[in-house]
Structure 1
Amino acid sequence: MYPYTICFIKRGNSLLLLNREKAPTKGLWNGVGGKFEPGESPLDCVLRETFEETGIRLADAQYRGVVSWESDGISTGGMYVFVAELPEDYIYPTPVKISEGILDWKSIDWTLSERNLGIGEMIPYYLPAILNGECLEHRCTFLNHRLTGYAAVPLTLEVHS
């Protein structure tokens, strides 16, 4: 079981992203989420973390697979990925400062734009598939802290909500 969850909250053509103040993605825009508490399922964790970080109480989030990573030949982690969709008229004023960083709505086009150095390196590889409803394992390979490989493969891990 991986130790983390991440959720991309969608409203129309925008995502609620967090510019994180802490490593390992310090200074980059990313989804919201975090670490499991004892006894939590991936869904329980992502719903709790989303509420803690945004104040938005989601009724549900759609499981979209996992992102795993290997650094310098060693498997070093992974996370369960979810997408939650809010109504287009949902009001959530941003930017807003929270303890984790700054929350703001960013267009999907901006998030996926070529050479966007403000977004985590892995996100442009796996985000299109998860927004398209695909449920895959996204394997990322790093060498000397730089992304050197990516593969989307059929999911082999089972998740219990």
Structure 2
Amino acid sequence: MQGYNVLMIYNQTMDKLLMCKRLKNPYKGLSNLVGGKIEDGEAGLDAAYRELKEETNISKEDLTLHHLMDFTYYLQDCYVEVYVGRLERDVPVSGDENILYLSDLNHDFFDMSFYAGEGNIGHMIEQVNLAKGKLFPEAKVN
């Protein structure tokens, strides 16, 4: 079963979420979260930090990732690990795989004509909102 990760990266005040506009399929032209494949034998958390660095230039020193949830797709023979982190400082974000941007959170992330993931992004954001105090007790968040 192939593993993937999805990374929910919030700014310091947690009022913006790092997104990318996909330049290739699947979901070409739609906004998505960053992430990628988990290599054979690679721990999920290690893969998450590796993908984050490769795709955004954000490093382990810039935030702590928390394992939020998993999705298992038995008929597609794959699973997705979802990680969330809050930047500890302003970090210049750069990457050439997709167009990166910080999104306000006042959008309809369930809108499948704009966002990838069949509504999963909206669901994941709601889960972070429910667990914000546990995930980031030290943060001054909205």
Category of TM-score, reference length = shorter chain: 0.7 to 0.9
Shift of 1:38: 3.2
CA distance in 1, matches of 2:87, 2:121: 21
CA distance in 2, matches of 1:65, 1:17: 19
Paired residues, what number? 126
The aligned residue for residue 123 of structure 1 is 121
> 1:28-43 to 2 correspondence within 5 Å?
28-43=30-45
Aligned sequence identity (%):
28
Contact persistence 1:5–1:33 (CA under 8 A)? yes
Contact persistence 1:63–1:80 (CA under 8 A)? yes
Paired residue secondary structure (1:49): helix
The aligned residue for residue 110 of structure 1 is 107
Q: With a CA cutoff of 8 Å and minimum separation of 6, indicate the structure with the bigger relative contact order.
A: 2
Q: Which of 46, 51, 72 is residue 53 of structure 2 equivalent to?
A: 51
Could you report, residue by residue, the CA deviation over 1:120-160 in whole angstroms, capped at 9, with x for unpaired residues? 222112321134328xxxxxxxxxxxxxxxxxxxxxxxxxx
Shift of 1:54: 0.4
* Alpha-carbon spacing, 1:111–1:62, altered in 2? closer, same or farther (3 Å): farther
The aligned residue for residue 69 of structure 2 is 65
The aligned residue for residue 81 of structure 1 is 82
Contact persistence 2:21–2:32 (CA under 8 A)? yes
Q: Which runs of 4+ in 1 moved over 4 A?
A: none
Name the TM-score, length of structure 2 as normaliser: 0.75
CA distance in 2, matches of 1:109, 1:34: 26
**Which structure shows the higher strand fraction?**
1
* Alpha-carbon spacing, 1:86–1:111, altered in 2? closer, same or farther (3 Å): farther
* Alpha-carbon spacing, 1:18–1:111, altered in 2? closer, same or farther (3 Å): farther
The aligned residue for residue 140 of structure 2 is none
**Which structure shows the higher helix fraction?**
2
> 1:134-145 to 2 correspondence within 5 Å?
none
CA distance in 2, matches of 1:91, 1:23: 28
Contact persistence 2:30–2:115 (CA under 8 A)? yes
Paired residue secondary structure (1:100): coil
Matched AA of 2:125: L
The aligned residue for residue 8 of structure 2 is 8
Name the TM-score, length of structure 1 as normaliser: 0.67
Unaligned runs of 5+ in 1: 135-161
RMSD, aligned CA: 2.4
Shift of 1:33: 1.1
Shift of 1:58: 2.4
